[in-house]
Each structure stands twice: as structure tokens, then as C-alpha cells.
Structure 1
Amino acid sequence: MKASLRRVAAAQSGPGFQIAPMIDVVFVIMLYFMVMAGAVPKEGAHRTLLPALGEPSDDPPLELTVRIDEDGQVALNDDLLDSPESTSLPELAGQLQDAKAVGGEVLVTINAAEDARYQRIIDVLDAVGLAEIRNVTFTSGGE
């Protein structure tokens, strides 16, 4: 009778919690993440050129402000230039080249409205690049 009670108790208790399959699953997941970590591209070093110390210039740089409105209208020092549909911005590029030709250092500040399209900002940067101006800063929103 005691043997039959033991069999009934063993049948009701079930197999219990098996730890071995859980360890196998954990090791498979760990192996997956170890293998995938090698596939992640490493971030390359960003080459940054810092300004060199030099003779301070007596002439302050010529500061120009390019404003980009929500509708894409571009203004140079509050003078409207080009149409909002123009992608090459020839008037802006010409004015910037004229300012660069005068001589001295030119500093351009791009003031983009918060709702301005990114493509329009790229168009302005292209015009600044055509004038070979390297000192560019950005502002956004209200002044």
C-alpha cells in the first residue's frame, strides 16, 4: 500500500522545474548577441580641424546673416534674394562671392526658421560652398 501511495504522489507532483534547458536557452541567446556584436560597424574617428593660433587680425570678419523662412524664401542681411522655388540660389551665391572678393574674412550665420525644409538649408550651404566661405554658423527659431 505504501508503494502505491508513493507512485500516486510522484505522478501528481510532475517532473518539476528543469534548470538544464533554461541554461541552454541562456547560452544560445548569449552566443547570438556575441556573434551579432561583431557585425556592428565601428564608429570611425571624425576628423575635426581646429583653428590654429595666429596673428590676431585688426580687421574684424565681415558678418553676413542668411535667413531662411518657412516658405523657403532666402534673405541676405534682410534683403530678399531668389525665389522660394530656386534650388541653385544664383543671387545668393553671387552676393556671397562678391563679399568674399572684397577681401578679408567672411563669417556667414544661417538663421533657419524651425519649420524650414532641410533641403532648403542644404541649398543655402551649397551657395555658401560655391563662394568658398568656410566660416559658417547656424541658429534656429526666433532671435
Structure 2
Amino acid sequence: MKRRKHKASGETNLGFQIAPMIDVVFVIMLYFMVMAGAVQKENSHNTKLPGTETRDDVAEETPDEIAVRIEEDGQVYLNDDPLDAPGNAPLKELLFNLAQLKSSSDAAKSKVLVTIYAADSAQYQRVIDVLDVLGQVSIENVTFQAGAE
């Protein structure tokens, strides 16, 4: 019988092992694929500096801002002034005041910007009534603010 020689553990040459290298490459690739979804795009914000336009041009671009607030009980406020009773559906006072504001802003060649502040539990019909009035006086620049002002 022949005796086998056992090599010491330091003398064993396994060669170049590719399997662990492939595993590491796949883990790194998986990391970059997951992190690519978390990249946020940056948006540019164009800002005009003052002093580059004439006074007449600035007056045309500055909108007249109006706040319309609708409370839970249906009371409508125009710039903190209460108009029309909560049960009135036509909103005649609001229509009259907005028509005057629209005509004065048209005479001044400025836009009208209306922000509607509706309470969280305000009735949708009351918001629709206010939008109808805005449509009657041809005010197109309308924004909404959630919750109270």
C-alpha cells in the first residue's frame, strides 16, 4: 500500500475562483438598480430680478389677488367681509362685488387672481355656487387652498 502525502492547507492551489466574483458583481449591480429609483429630478426655478422692466410692464403683470373663504355653515367671505346669508343660493352680493372688482382690474389692465379657501367640511354645492359666480364675471385665474386660511 502506498501512503498518500497530505499537503498542508497553505500549499493547496485552488486556482482563480470566478463564482464569488460574479456574486459580488451581481450584489453591486442590484444596489445601483435599487438606488436609481430613489434619484430625484431637480426642477429649475426661473426668477426675474427687479429693475429690468419698466413701471408700466410691472403693473400689467401684477394680479389683483382676492380671497374667497367658504365656512362650514355655508357663509361666504370676500377678503374677510361676510357676504350673502348661508342659505342664499344665488350669491347676489358676491356677484355684485366680484363684477365691480373685475371691471376695475380690467380698467387698470391687470389680471384678477382668486384663491378659494374652503373649510374641510364645507358643502360642495356652496363651492360650486362660488365657482358659478366666478364664471359669470369671467374670472379664469382661480386656485384652491385646502383647509382654513
**TM-score normalized by the length of structure 1:** 0.59
Query: Aligned letter for 1:133?
Result: I
Q: The residue matched to 2:77 in structure 1 has which SS?
A: strand
- Counterpart of 1:110 in structure 2 is 116
What is the 5 A alignment of 1:49-60? Answer: 57-59=57-59, 60=62
What is the Cα deviation at residue 57 of structure 1? 4.2
- Counterpart of 2:89 in structure 1 is 87
- Counterpart of 2:143 in structure 1 is 137
CA distance in 2, matches of 1:66, 1:85: 17
What is the 5 A alignment of 1:25-40? Answer: none
Q: The residue matched to 2:69 in structure 1 has which SS?
A: strand
- Equivalent residues of 2:68, 2:78 under 8 A apart: yes
- Counterpart of 1:127 in structure 2 is 133
1:77 has 2:71 as partner: no
How many pairs were matched up? 89
What is the Cα deviation at residue 61 of structure 1? 0.5
Identity, % of aligned pairs? Answer: 52
What is the Cα deviation at residue 83 of structure 1? 0.6
- Equivalent residues of 2:74, 2:122 under 8 A apart: yes
Unaligned runs of 5+ in 1: 1-55
Q: The residue matched to 1:58 in structure 2 has which SS?
A: helix
- Counterpart of 1:51 in structure 2 is none
Q: Please provide the CA RMSD for this pair.
A: 1.7
